[in-house]
Amino acid sequence: METSLPDFRLNDGSRVAVIGGGPAGSFFTYFLLSMAERSGVDIGIDVYEPRDFSKPGQSGCNKCGGIIYDSLVQSLATDGIFLPASVVQNGIAGYAFHLDEGAVRIKPPIDEKRIASVRRGAGPCGAARSLLASFDGFLLGLAEEKGARIVRERVTDAGMVDGKPRVTTISGPSEAYDLLVGALGVNSPDLKFFENLGTGYTPPVTTKTYITEVFLGDDAIDACLGDAMHVLLLNIPRLKFAAIIPKGEYATVCLLGRDIDQELVDSFFRHPEVVRCFPAGWSSADIRCRCFPSINLGRAEGTFGDRFVMVGDSGVSRLYKDGIGSAYRTARAAAQAAFLTACRKRISRRTTGRFAMRSPPTTGSGKSYSASPA
């Protein structure tokens, strides 16, 4: 006999709000709707995402490097998500490590035989229309195909009214939702809405990074970077890590360090090992698309509670800087926890009492769920 059941349940007609349509929000929506479809439960999901991932530049940018590993591609395929060739910009066959004394190339770990670079938006400022193949746009499209409603408006407020979440946009307040999901990156100003919910949510500590998109052309990419992700561990004050990632005709440059500013960026591009990664005569003065986004340094506090959960960067740290992989894992775990918790009473009512679902672990634990004798 089932005991200690929560009052909250997702039933036919339940409504979920997801703030953020990047990978974490799209993954959560896809998984929750897939589970509901298989169980014959009709759930409505609204995904609030004002960015247009089909447009180059800031309006479609997600301020990320964009690396996915073979293990994630295989996991996505298991879940019925197959990446089209147009989404993958480059296949990465290995790593080139650059030190002050020189460079060495190594193969990836045995269980990560293939690596791919993807574009999180449609490309940098001034990009040609031929680059319109966005990883984030592809995932959001999958969520919409599953039945989600995409709300192309920026959220101006979110809170609890009579014990249920509500979301406000420029069009006005929404009706009550049964579950509120925060799928925001740490660069989003909308994190303040979740801090004000009174649930104890505290965003993770962050540090500033530098990301730029450099146009080189196919020939220069092949000659200078090839099919490798270039990792630079250089003796430059305040610089901890740098990477140069080939993506079609462009290269994405990411810098991580302490108090990153333009002076540090200029020092990086002047370093001899960096100069050797670019064609002769190239100058960083030619860069048109750059930003100084934040990256989290650890997990947040209070990431789940009564009728709300945080997924992606705003909830946990990136595992080995694998932001897309972290989005996948946290979103999938949160969707499983939300749906299976909601279905416990319904499942036990439909059986003769011989089987009941185990109580799910806390969101983000990554543990599996199974049926067991009651």
What residue spans of the chain are helical by DSSP H?
23-39, 70-78, 135-145, 191-195, 218-220, 262-270, 272-275, 323-349
- What percent of the chain shows pLDDT beyond 70? 79
Model confidence pLDDT, tens digit, residues 188-200 = 888 888 887 777 8
Q: What is the pLDDT of residue 27?
A: 95
Query: pTM to 2 decimals?
Result: 0.81
Q: Is the pLDDT of residue 103 over 50?
A: yes
Q: What is the pLDDT of residue 43?
A: 94
Find all residues with CB under 8 Å of 334, minimum gap 6, and list them.
28, 181, 304, 309, 311, 363, 364
The arrangement of secondary structure in 10-66+119-205+297-365, i.e. its CATH architecture, is: 3-Layer(bba) Sandwich (3.50)
Model confidence pLDDT, tens digit, residues 119-176 = 776 566 666 555 557 888 889 999 999 999 999 999 999 988 888 999 999 999 999 9
Q: Report the C-alpha gap between 219 and 12 in whole angstroms.
A: 55
DSSP state of 301: B
Q: What is the pLDDT of residue 351?
A: 35
> Are 125 and 65 within 8 A, CB to CB?
no
Q: Residue 76 class from Cβ within 10 Å (0-12 exposed, 13-18 middle, 19+ buried)?
A: middle
Please give the average per-residue pLDDT across 234-254, as a whole number: 91
Q: Is the pLDDT of residue 311 over 60?
A: yes
Higher pLDDT, 297 or 55: 297
Q: What is the pLDDT of residue 86?
A: 79
Q: Is the pLDDT of residue 187 over 90?
A: no
Q: Is the pLDDT of residue 81 over 50?
A: yes
Q: Is the pLDDT of residue 42 over 50?
A: yes
- 1-15, 104-118, 275-289, 349-363: segment of lowest average pLDDT: 349-363
Q: What is the pLDDT of residue 7?
A: 52
> Are 98 and 233 within 8 A, CB to CB?
yes
pLDDT grade for 184, boundaries at 50, 70 and 90: confident
Q: What is the pLDDT of residue 357?
A: 29
pLDDT grade for 267, boundaries at 50, 70 and 90: very high
Range ranked top by mean pLDDT from 16-30, 84-98, 316-330: 16-30
Q: Is the pLDDT of residue 350 over 70?
A: no
Please give the average per-residue pLDDT across 202-212, as a whole number: 88
Please give the average per-residue pLDDT across 49-74, as a whole number: 73
Instruction: Name the E strands within 113-263.
Output: 115-118, 149-151, 155-161, 164-169, 172-173, 179-182, 206-215, 228-232, 239-247, 250-257
Please give the average per-residue pLDDT across 249-268, as a whole number: 92
Model confidence pLDDT, tens digit, residues 268-293 = 999 999 999 999 989 888 787 888 88
- What percent of the chain shows pLDDT beyond 90? 36
Q: Which residue has the tokens 């039945």?
A: 147
Question: Largest alpha-carbon pair distance within the chain?
Answer: 76
Higher pLDDT, 136 or 342: 136
Could you state, in order of their start, the residue ranges of all structural domains in the chain? 10-66+119-205+297-365, 88-118+206-296
Q: What is the pLDDT of residue 73?
A: 82
Higher pLDDT, 230 or 121: 230
Q: What is the pLDDT of residue 147?
A: 95
Single-letter amino acid code for the residue at 6: P
Please give the average per-residue pLDDT across 328-332, as a whole number: 91
Taking the mean position of all CA atoms in its chain, how far away is CA 248? Answer: 21
Tokens describing residue 320: 């080995």
Say which CATH topology domain 88-118+206-296 has.
D-Amino Acid Oxidase; Chain A, domain 2 (3.30.9)
Q: What is the pLDDT of residue 230?
A: 94
> Are 313 and 207 within 8 A, CB to CB?
no
Average pLDDT, the chain: 80
DSSP state of 202: B
Q: Which residue has the tokens 């990136």?
A: 318
